[in-house]
Each structure stands twice: as structure tokens, then as C-alpha cells.
């Protein structure tokens, strides 16, 4: 009797509460925010009040103390309505709060987590650099000790939540020396906004996630206190990679939500739109498409929740996380593509939400490890 | 002040329901359940009063064992404890009121808040019957509730056909919530976590020794007749002539 697909009572209540919230609060403004490429502090505040930040952080540090499956459900429900808002929540939790929560000292946690969990501030995760994307170990940013300080030089690109009015700081990976095997020694640092020598610039002109905040970061002789090292010197790459394992669950949940949201729109439209004297869902070509979409979403959800369940039960989950990220992001692209097709010409118009899902889906195959990188991860896990 | 508030488990009102092929009921496979939306409004009102006056909000539900979820939803919004009377039997409005009366007799709340009706059966009867059984005042379809300073009375604005009716009732009373009474809060994540630890007193209906044999029984369910598609008319004169000659409404 061990296998059990029931969600807990709390998870069910959470799903219906977040679903209603997303429908009432985010859906009405999502299209316009996307169009204007604008981050909304209003919806940010409402999401924070609902408790969407610090979902899996213990209440002692200001978090909500929920499990990872609950976090996946919350992210999925937001993504079902809008990708940009889901990005703010997902990056806020797993990339911003995550590393501080897992590797921060008690002092660092006390200093930052309560504010971040209350959603009064956002924290960025600076791994990607102009010359180090998929090759995340190829960081060129350096941190050199000098007396009681570290001096940082370099730059980061595409950093979510790192350049708006409530951005409080970033965790960055930098080179701190050479390891005995000749490879770069990488370490992570906490850099607060307002530190001299650190500038964060908002990036514009995105195809997708247009109302999520994305930043370029520049460090020019930026001095931070010695104690702003995260965890131990030399642990940086490991910290970043394991943060990404968790992050993959976030992106997977976003893919699942994006697919479900696009499917909802397609199904409703196909039941209403009449051609040749009947609703288009009555044509087998459309009906079979919808049947396949529903089946794939069901598959994606099972894989996604299993990966979360493994994590909640302290089992190894890296392989399933990569699989869930890969499957759910490709699902989002396929389903949103079919959904636009089912909408015909209307699906190409900004007036219809489905075009936003089509654009937002694309990021999911690129961010936090491209689909190619996920296949590398999985193939290594299975022993290739 | 001790407030009782009811939360009934109903099929998700956002989902299209289907009648079973043999007409014996609603097909429940794959259907989600939620708190009756009018009950959510009642819970919100109870919590708002509680936040001002202090005391206790007790969520009460009657239903299958799975209804703990609907009780827990009220607790997640901010109520302090729950009571669930468990039964898989169908209860009519009289039966439901009979059970609630028993709980009220045991617990003696100062105020009973309920949804004006449950969106499954749409009966709109339990609040009225309960008030009568208890000999309490009733104010149904409330769109505004103000408690007297001494907390012995409540002034209630009722939504009635064509306007508002203002009444003052002595407490304890039964007040049922209409749609515009308030906008219920979302159960927050910390609220949901807190609710996990709040007590729910579960009891079997059969252990209460009540006669709840339904006097109203469902004989058959059927889908409403499908609406025929409308027609498009080329211009206003055609429309007017059709309204006059065919529909005969002008
Ligand atoms: C909106 C947005 C938000 C982002 N947020 C963040 C953030 O918060 N923090 C952060 O650190 N980064 C963030 N990123 C960066 C993102 O994670 C990277 O863009 C991604 O990891 C890919 O890196 P790249 O763009 O440099 O592409 P590249 O690594 O240059 O890849 C180009 C192509 O080559 C392929 N490729 C590369 N190496 C291999 C290989 N070994 N085998 C096969 N194929 C390969 C890739 O799969 C891809 O198809 C964000 C990006 C965007 C667009």
C-alpha cells in the first residue's frame, strides 16, 4: 500500500488558494505588464502577502516551512496564468533564497532571510557570464583577498530579480585561485546592492518573461567584507550546481504550469470556435491533438511531483530533476505550439493570452541549463 | 465572542458537472471539491469580527471524512478550531439543521454565520430552519453586519428584491451571507501551515442519536435542455420585425 497519489490536505488547500489568487490578481494584469515590459511591485506585494517567498525555508528564519512538492504546486499554479510572475517567484525562492538558506551562516541567514521571505526584497543568483553560460565553471569574475576584504572584478549577465527597486543583493560565483588539479577554484560571495564598485543594470528587449526583472551586473574593484564568503572557500561550484538541481524543479514546475495554462486556453477556445457548423474540438484532428496534450501534461505532472517527492524524502533527485526540467520545458513548448495552432490567426494576436504562453515557453528550454545540458546531465547519470 | 461558521464541501463550482447516465446523481469521477463559496464569505466575516472583538471562530461541517479539508480551509483562513460531523448519508435541509442545532446546543455560540445557500443543492433553507429550531433571530442574505457595542445585538443589511432591508437582531442569531458581504481572503501559505496544528473534533453522525431521515429525496437528475444556437440577422429592421412577429415581445 505504499504508492499513494493523494496530495495532502494542505497541498490541496494551497493549490486552490494559489489558483484563485492567480486568476483574480495576476491574470487581469499579466498581458499589459508583458506588453509594457514592466515589473509590478503591486503584484509582488500581493504574492509576498500570500506567502509565496521562502516557501521551503523554516519559520525560524521567516519562511513558510512547507515541503518542496507544495512549492512546485504553487509555482505551477502561478505559471498556469503567467510566466513572468512565476519567474519572479521561482527565481526568488530557489535561486535567491535557496543558496542563503542552504549554505549561509546563521548570521547571514538572520540578516537576509526574514526580509526576503517576507518578499520585501529580492536576491539574485549570479552564475552566468558573457563568456560562461552552459560552461558554468568557466567563470572569469575574480575575487582576491585583501586584508579584511575581498576585491571583486568581472561581470554577470541575465541575472533574474537583480536590478529593480527591491533588489537587495546577489550571490555570485567568482574565481578565488587554482586547485591542486589545475582547475579554477570557485567560491560564492554575497554582494549587497549599494556596495561601491557594484552596478546592476536592467536588461530590456526580451522575447519572453517580459515583466520579470533581468540584470547585467558589473564589478569594478568592488570591496566586500571577508565574512561575505558563502560557506567555505572553494565550495562555490558545488553550491551553484546543487542550487541548480533545485532550480530545475522550479523550471520544471513552470513548464508544467505553462503547458497546463496553454492547454486550458486551447480547450476552451476549441469548444467555442465554430467552423463548418460545429465546434472545432469536434474535428478529430483537433480532438486528438487535445487528447495528446492532456496525456502529456499528466505524464509531466507525475514526473514533476515524483522529483519533488524524492527531494522531500531526502532521496537523490538530481537525475529526476533534470528529467522533469527537460520533459516539462519541452512539453510547454509543444503544448503552447499546438495551442496557438488551435487558435488559428487569433492565436497570433496579442489580444489572446495564448501567444504569451508560446513566447514564455521558449525560455524554459534555455534557462538553468539548456535542454542539451539536461541531456548531458541525464546521460552521465545513466552511465554513458 | 464565540462564532460558529459552517463550511460545506461542494463540487468545484468552476467545473462543469455531468449527470450520471442512469440519472441517479452527479458523476463524481475526477471532480474537485471546494468550500461552498457563500460559506467562504461567512468565514471571512467571522474572522474579521474575531480580529476586532477577539474570542473564537469555530468551523463546523457535516459530510464525508474527506470534508476535513473544507474545515481545514476555514482554519487556514484564520479560524481557531473545527468540528466535523461525519456521515456518508444524504441529508436534506431539515436533517442538516437538526445536526447543527445539536452542535449549537452543546457549544452555545454567540453568533452563527452561514452561507445563504450551498451551490450544489441551492436550497437556501438551512439557516432559516436552524434559526427557527433554536428560537433565534435570523437575518438572511446579509451584505453588511455591524455588531452593537455591547455585542448583544447586530445590525444587518439584507439584500432583498429591489433594495436593502435593515434589521437589528438580538444575539445569538443566525446570519447568512450574501455575495457582496465581503471578499474572502486567500488562505496564505503560513495560514495553511498553522492550520495543520489546529484541532478538528471529528464525530460520527450515528453517535449523536438524531433522526435525520430525509423528508426530501432526489428522484432523478437530468441535464438541462440544450440551448439552441441563436441566429444572426442582417439589420435592425429585420430584428425589430422578428421581435414583433415571431418572438412577440414588442
Ligand atoms: C531571462 C533570463 C533569465 C536568466 N536568469 C539567470 C539567473 O538568474 N542567473 C544566472 O546565473 N543565469 C541566468 N540566465 C542565464 C541562462 O541560465 C543561460 O542563458 C543558459 O544557461 C545558457 O547559457 P548561454 O546563454 O551562455 O548559452 P550557451 O552556453 O552559449 O549555449 C548556446 C548553445 O550551445 C549549446 N551548448 C553549449 N555547450 C554545449 C555542450 N557541451 N554540448 C551540447 N550543446 C552545448 C547550448 O545548449 C545552446 O543551445 C538567464 C537567462 C535569461 C535569458
DSSP string, B92-112: -HHHHHHHHHHHHHHH--SEE
Q: Are B58 and B82 in contact (CB under 8 A)?
A: yes
Cα-to-chain-centroid distance, residue A37: 18
Chain A residues with CB inside 8 Å of B192's CB? 10, 13-14, 17, 66
State which H helix or E strand residue B140 sits in: strand B137-147
Which residue of B44, B186, B202 is the best one to mutate when testing the A interface, meaning the one whose CB has the most A CBs within 10 A? Answer: B186
Contact A16 B34 (CB under 8 A): yes
A238-381 is classed CATH 1.20.140.10: yes
For residue A151, CA distances in Å to A192, A224, A225, A336 come to: 14, 7, 9, 46
Q: Hey, what's the cell of A89?
A: 517567484
Interface of B with A in 19-78 (CB under 8 A): 32, 34, 68-69, 72-73, 76
Give mean pLDDT, residues B163-179: 96
Question: Three-class SS of residue A156?
Answer: strand
Contact A13 B195 (CB under 8 A): yes
Q: Which domains are seen in chain B, by residue range?
A: 2-216 (3.40.50.620)
Q: Does A65 touch chain B (CB under 8 A)?
A: yes
Bond from prior residue into B172 cis (ω within 30 degrees of 0): yes
Q: Are A338 and A266 in contact (CB under 8 A)?
A: yes
pLDDT at A360: 97
Q: How far is the CA of B225 from the centre of ligand 1 (A)?
A: 56
Give mean pLDDT, residues B128-141: 97
State which H helix or E strand residue A109 sits in: helix A106-117
Q: Does A75 touch chain B (CB under 8 A)?
A: no
Q: Does A130 touch chain B (CB under 8 A)?
A: no
pLDDT at B15: 83
- Is A368 assigned a catalytic role? yes
Q: List the beta bridge partners of residue B9.
A: B35
Question: Three-class SS of residue A289?
Answer: helix
Contact A50 B69 (CB under 8 A): no
Give mean pLDDT, residues A24-47: 98
- Please report, rounded to a whole number, the percentage of residues in chain A having pLDDT higher than 90: 98
Tell me which residue has cell 504553487: A74
Q: Are A208 and A359 in contact (CB under 8 A)?
A: yes
pLDDT (tens digit per residue) in A124-159:
999 999 999 999 999 999 999 999 999 999 999 999
pLDDT at B13: 85
Q: Are A162 and A169 in contact (CB under 8 A)?
A: no
Q: How many whole angstroms separate alpha carbon B134 and alpha carbon B148?
A: 21
pLDDT (tens digit per residue) in B198-236:
999 999 999 999 999 999 988 999 988 888 878 888 899
Helices (H) and strands (E) in chain B, counts: 6, 11
Q: Does A170 touch chain B (CB under 8 A)?
A: no
B96: confidence class by pLDDT, cuts 50, 70, 90: very high
CATH architecture of A123-235: Beta Barrel (2.40)
Q: Positive or negative, the Cα torsion across B128, B131, B132, B137?
A: negative
Q: Hey, what's the cell of B24?
A: 441517479
Q: A133, A169, A189: which to mutate for ligand 1, most atoms within 8 A of CB?
A: A133
pLDDT at position B31 over 90: no
Listed residue (B120, B2, B113, B111) closest to B54, CA to CA: B2
Any atom of ligand 1 within 6 Å of the Cβ of A368 = yes
3-state secondary structure B206-248: HHHCCCCCCCCCCCCCCCCCCCCCCCCCCCHHHHHHHHHHCCC
The ipTM assigned to this model is 0.90
pLDDT (tens digit per residue) in A255-290:
999 999 999 999 999 999 999 999 999 999 999 999
For residue A302, CA distances in Å to A112, A244, A327, B221, B234 come to: 35, 21, 11, 35, 52
From A129, A330, A365, A368, active-site residue: A368
For residue B176, CA distances in Å to A44, B101, B117, B158, B203 come to: 35, 15, 8, 9, 25
Question: Strand A229-230 and strand A184-192: pairing?
Answer: antiparallel
* Mean pLDDT estimate for chain A: 96
**Domain boundaries in chain A?**
9-122, 123-235, 238-381
pLDDT (tens digit per residue) in A307-332:
999 999 999 999 999 999 999 999 99
Q: How many whole angstroms separate alpha carbon B243 and alpha carbon B250?
A: 6
Write the class of the CATH domain A9-122: mainly alpha
Q: Are A305 and A256 in contact (CB under 8 A)?
A: no
For residue B102, CA distances in Å to A268, B139, B141 come to: 46, 21, 24
Q: How many whole angstroms separate alpha carbon A301 and alpha carbon A233?
A: 38
- DSSP state for residue B132 in the 8-state scheme: H
Any atom of ligand 1 within 6 Å of the Cβ of A373 = yes
pLDDT at B247: 85
pTM here is 0.92
Q: How many whole angstroms separate alpha carbon A369 and alpha carbon A227?
A: 30
Q: Are B126 and B93 in contact (CB under 8 A)?
A: yes
* Mean pLDDT estimate for chain B: 94
Q: A96, A158, A208: which to mutate for ligand 1, most atoms within 8 A of CB?
A: A158
Any atom of ligand 1 within 6 Å of the Cβ of A125 = yes
Q: For residue B186, give the nearest of A10, A20, A65 by CB distance.
A: A20
Question: Strand B81-86 and strand B56-63: pairing?
Answer: parallel
pLDDT at B246: 87
pLDDT (tens digit per residue) in A220-247:
999 999 999 999 999 999 999 999 888 8
Any atom of ligand 1 within 6 Å of the Cβ of A326 = no
Contact A64 B193 (CB under 8 A): yes
Listed residue (B100, B111, B11) closest to B60, CA to CA: B100
Which residue of A13, A51, A69, A117 is the best one to mutate when testing the B interface, meaning the one whose CB has the most B CBs within 10 A? Answer: A13
Residue B163 CB partners (closer than 8 Å, separation 6+): none
Give mean pLDDT, residues B105-119: 96
DSSP for B157-202 reads EEEETTEEEEEEEESSEEEEE-GGG--PPPPPHHHHHHHHTS-EEE
C-alpha R_g of chain B? 21
Q: How far is the CA of A129 from the centre of ligand 1 (A)?
A: 9
pLDDT (tens digit per residue) in A204-214:
999 999 999 99
Residue B116 CB partners (closer than 8 Å, separation 6+): B38, B124, B127, B140, B141, B176, B177, B178
Amino acid at each position: 500500500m505504499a504508492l499513494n497519489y493523494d496530495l495532502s490536505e494542505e497541498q490541496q488547500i494551497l493549490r486552490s488558494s494559489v489558483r484563485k489568487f492567480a486568476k483574480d490578481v495576476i491574470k487581469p494584469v499579466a498581458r499589459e505588464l508583458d506588453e509594457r515590459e514592466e515589473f509590478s511591485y503591486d503584484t509582488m506585494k500581493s504574492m509576498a502577502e500570500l506567502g509565496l517567498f521562502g516557501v521551503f525555508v523554516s519559520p525560524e528564519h521567516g519562511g513558510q516551512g512547507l515541503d518542496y512538492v507544495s512549492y512546485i504546486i504553487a509555482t505551477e499554479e502561478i505559471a498556469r496564468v503567467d510566466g513572468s510572475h512565476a519567474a519572479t517567484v521561482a527565481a526568488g525562492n530557489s535561486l535567491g533564497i535557496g543558496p542563503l538558506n542552504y549554505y549561509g551562516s546563521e548570521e547571514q541567514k538572520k540578516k537576509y532571510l526574514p526580509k526576503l521571505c517576507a518578499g520585501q526584497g529580492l536576491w539574485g543568483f549570479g552564475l552566468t557570464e558573457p563568456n560562461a553560460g552552459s560552461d558554468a565553471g568557466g567563470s572569469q569574475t575574480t575575487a582576491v583577498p585583501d586584508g579584511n576584504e575581498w576585491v571583486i572584478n568581472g561581470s554577470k549577465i541575465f541575472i533574474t530579480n537583480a536590478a529593480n527597486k527591491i533588489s537587495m543583493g546577489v550571490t555570485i560565483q567568482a574565481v578565488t585561485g587554482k586547485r591542486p588539479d589545475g582547475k579554477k577554484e570557485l567560491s560564492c560571495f554575497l554582494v549587497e546592492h549599494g556596495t561601491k564598485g557594484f552596478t546592476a543594470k536592467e536588461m530590456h528587449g526580451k522575447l519572453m518573461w517580459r515583466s520579470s526583472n533581468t540584470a547585467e551586473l558589473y564589478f569594478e574593484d568592488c570591496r566586500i567584507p571577508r565574512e561575505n564568503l558563502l560557506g567555505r572557500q572553494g565550495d562555490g561550484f558545488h553550491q551553484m550546481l546543487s542550487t541548480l538541481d533545485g532550480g530545475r524543479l522550479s523550471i520544471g514546475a513552470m513548464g508544467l504550469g505553462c503547458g497546463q495554462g496553454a492547454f486550458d486556453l486551447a480547450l476552451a477556445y476549441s469548444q467555442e470556435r465554430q467552423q463548418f457548423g460545429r465546434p472545432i474540438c469536434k474535428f478529430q484532428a483537433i480532438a486528438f491533438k487535445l487528447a495528446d496534450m492532456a496525456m502529456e501534461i499528466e505524464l509531466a505532472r507525475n514526473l514533476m511531483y515524483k522529483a519533488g517527492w524524492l527531494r522531500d524524502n531526502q532521496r537523490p533527485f538530481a537525475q529526476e530533476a533534470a528529467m522533469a526540467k527537460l520533459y516539462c520545458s519541452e512539453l510547454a513548448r509543444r503544448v503552447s505550439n499546438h495551442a496557438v495552432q488551435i487558435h488559428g490567426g487569433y492565436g497570433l494576436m496579442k489580444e489572446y493570452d495564448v501567444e504569451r504562453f508560446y513566447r514564455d515557453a521558449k525560455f524554459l528550454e534555455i534557462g538553468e541549463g539548456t535542454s542539451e545540458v539536461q541531456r548531458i546531465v541525464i546521460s552521465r547519470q545513466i552511465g554513458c | 465572542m464565540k462564532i460558529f461558521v459552517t463550511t460545506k464541501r461542494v463540487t468545484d463550482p468552476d467545473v462543469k458537472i455531468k449527470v450520471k447516465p442512469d440519472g441517479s446523481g452527479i458523476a463524481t469521477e475526477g471532480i474537485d471539491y471546494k468550500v461552498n463559496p457563500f460559506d467562504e464569505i461567512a468565514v471571512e466575516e467571522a474572522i474579521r469580527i474575531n480580529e476586532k472583538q477577539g474570542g473564537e471562530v469555530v468551523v463546523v461541517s457535516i459530510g464525508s471524512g474527506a470534508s476535513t479539508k473544507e474545515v481545514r480551509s476555514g482554519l487556514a483562513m484564520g479560524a481557531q478550531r473545527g468540528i466535523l460531523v461525519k456521515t456518508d448519508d444524504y441529508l436534506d435541509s431539515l436533517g442538516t439543521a437538526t445536526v447543527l442545532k445539536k452542535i449549537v446546543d452543546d457549544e452555545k455560540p454567540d453568533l452563527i454565520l452561514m452561507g445563504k445557500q450551498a451551490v450544489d443543492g441551492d436550497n437556501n433553507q438551512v439557516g432559516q430552519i436552524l434559526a427557527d429550531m433554536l428560537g433565534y433571530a435570523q437575518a438572511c442574505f446579509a451584505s453588511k453586519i455591524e455588531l452593537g457595542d455591547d455585542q448583544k445585538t447586530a445590525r444587518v443589511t439584507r439584500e432583498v428584491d429591489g433594495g436593502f432591508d435593515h434589521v437589528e437582531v438580538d444575539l445569538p442569531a443566525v446570519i447568512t451571507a450574501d455575495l457582496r458581504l465581503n471578499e474572502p481572503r486567500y488562505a496564505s501559505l503560513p495560514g495553511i501551515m498553522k492550520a495543520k496544528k489546529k484541532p478538528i473534533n471529528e464525530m460520527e453522525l450515528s453517535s449523536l442519536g438524531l433522526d435525520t431521515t430525509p423528508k426530501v429525496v432526489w428522484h432523478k437528475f437530468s441535464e438541462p435542455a440544450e440551448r439552441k444556437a441563436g441566429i444572426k440577422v442582417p439589420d435592425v429592421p429585420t430584428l425589430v420585425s422578428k421581435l414583433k412577429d415571431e418572438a412577440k415581445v414588442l
